[in-house]
Structure 1
Amino acid sequence: MSHWHLVSLFGESAYLLPCAVFLALWLYWRGAPGSARHWALAFATAALLVLASKLAFMGWGIGSAALNFTGFSGHAMMAASVLPVLLYLAVPAARRRLGWLAAAAGVALALLVGVSRLALHAHSVSEVAGGLGVGLCVSLPFILRRTTPHGPLAMVLASVVLATALVMPMTGTVGASHGLIQQLAMLLSGRDRPFQRGEWAMHGRAPAYATMHAAVRSGPG
């Protein structure tokens, strides 16, 4: 496994989706239903937006040839939404400045995940930038809430579990979401195969630079 593949795992939905669910349940358990609802609604909206963008392209070829856009990067969105929040809540509320630094570290790690998707030729710049933007629209407003309880022990334990899972990848789970989205896109659109990068419903043929990238796989997430 290359170092970019390892970095990319920090945005893998198989690991971060359980973390997102854990955050919502933990907030309810800590007596912060408002924060839990805020987190659940924001994260679910972002996830549905990413899913809709992928289905639109895979099923109907709806994207942007000019931007080489076939859907928001799920890895980038997942990393940018979950990691800053997880690290921020791992710092005691009294250490506010340290909490901001932890959140910044989470953002930096999410950016690195985005770079890894480019290095692995899984996404275009527009797809990674869009995914990061959607994810940060989830994490940053949530972090700015002053009523959100912090849970250093719970967040550290969650981070340890995440780190352990990353070094022992679940072979049958990693990347499975991409295949499921393809199957759903074909089911909804009635096509026998999904659209591929370089194919656009609104264009007879891809522009020259998009054709050059046609060999670049959409890749999972």
Structure 2
Amino acid sequence: MSHWNLVSLFGESAYLLPCAVFLYLWLYWRGAPGSARHWVMAFLPAALLVLASKLAFLGWGIGSEALDFTGFSGHAMMAASVLPVMLYLAVPAAWTRLGWMAAGAGVCLAFLVGVSRLALHAHSVSEVAGGLAVGLCVSLPFILRRTTPHGPLAMVLAGLALGTALVMPMTATVGASHTLIQQLAMFLSGRDRPFQRGEWAMRAPPHLHAAVHVTIRARLPR
């Protein structure tokens, strides 16, 4: 496994979705239902937006050829939404400056995950930038809450569990979410295969381009 593949794992949905659920349950258990609701009402729409953008392209070819956009990067979005929050809450509330530094480290790690997706040719610049923007719209407003409880021990244990999962031979889970999204897109659209990068539903077929070209030339004054 290359170093970019390893970095990319820090945005894998199979690992970070359980972390997102853990954050909600932990906040609720700590007696902070307002923070728990804030988290789920921010994270869930962002995750659904990423899912919808992927389904739109894979099932119907809806995207942007000019921007080379086939859907928001799920790795970038997951990393940018979850990692800064977990690192921030892992620092005691009294250590304000260190907490901000931890959140900044989470943002930097999320950007590194985005770079890994580019290095692996898994996404375009527009897809990674969009995914990071969506994820930061989840994490940064949540971090700015003054009433969110911190849980150093719980977050450190969650981080250790995540780190253990990343180094274990769990290759079967890597990419599983993308496969499921492809299958869902084919089921909803009725296609026998998903759209691939370079295929666009709004692009006219080659014979139509030729016909338009001939028509235009015939109408030009001689």
TM norm. shorter chain > 0.5: yes
Larger deviation, residues 44-53 vs 166-175: 166-175
Maintained 8 Å contact 1:65/1:200: yes
Shift of 1:174: 1.4
Q: Name structure 1 gaps, 5 residues minimum.
A: 207-221
Q: What is the alpha-carbon distance in structure 1 between the residues aligned to residue 143 and residue 27 of structure 2?
A: 13
Counterpart in the other structure of 2:73: 73
Q: What is the alpha-carbon distance in structure 1 between the residues aligned to residue 174 and residue 31 of structure 2?
A: 33
Give the greater-gyration-radius structure (CA): 2
Maintained 8 Å contact 1:19/1:82: yes
- Paired residue type of 2:25: L
1:125 and 2:106 aligned: no
Counterpart in the other structure of 1:152: 152
Q: What is the alpha-carbon distance in structure 1 between the residues aligned to residue 157 and residue 200 of structure 2?
A: 45
Q: What is the alpha-carbon distance in structure 1 between the residues aligned to residue 176 and residue 157 of structure 2?
A: 26
Larger deviation, residues 95-104 vs 167-176: 167-176
RMSD: 1.0
1:13 and 2:13 aligned: yes
User: What pairs with 1:71-220 in structure 2 (closer than 5 Å)?
Assistant: 71-204=71-204
- Paired residue type of 1:88: Y
- Secondary structure class of the residue paired with 2:42: helix
What whole-Å deviation, never above 9, does each CA across 1:117-147 have from its counterpart, x for those lacking one? Answer: 0000000000000000000000000000000
User: What pairs with 1:38-57 in structure 2 (closer than 5 Å)?
Assistant: 38-57=38-57
Shift of 1:41: 1.3
Q: What is the alpha-carbon distance in structure 1 between the residues aligned to residue 20 and residue 138 of structure 2?
A: 11
- Paired residue type of 1:139: S
% of aligned pairs identical?
86
Shift of 1:169: 3.9
Instruction: List structure 1 segments (4+ residues) > 6 angstroms apart after TM superposition.
Output: none
- Paired residue type of 2:180: L
Q: What is the alpha-carbon distance in structure 2 between the residues aligned to residue 149 and residue 196 of structure 1?
A: 44
User: TM-score, normalising length from structure 1?
Assistant: 0.92
- Paired residue type of 1:84: P
- Paired residue type of 1:186: M
- Paired residue type of 1:5: N
- Secondary structure class of the residue paired with 2:174: coil
- Paired residue type of 2:143: I
- Secondary structure class of the residue paired with 1:65: coil
Q: What is the alpha-carbon distance in structure 2 between the residues aligned to residue 153 and residue 128 of structure 1?
A: 32
- Paired residue type of 2:27: L
What whole-Å deviation, never above 9, does each CA across 1:75-102 have from its counterpart, x for those lacking one? Answer: 0000000000000000000001100000
- Paired residue type of 1:33: P
Aligned residues: 206
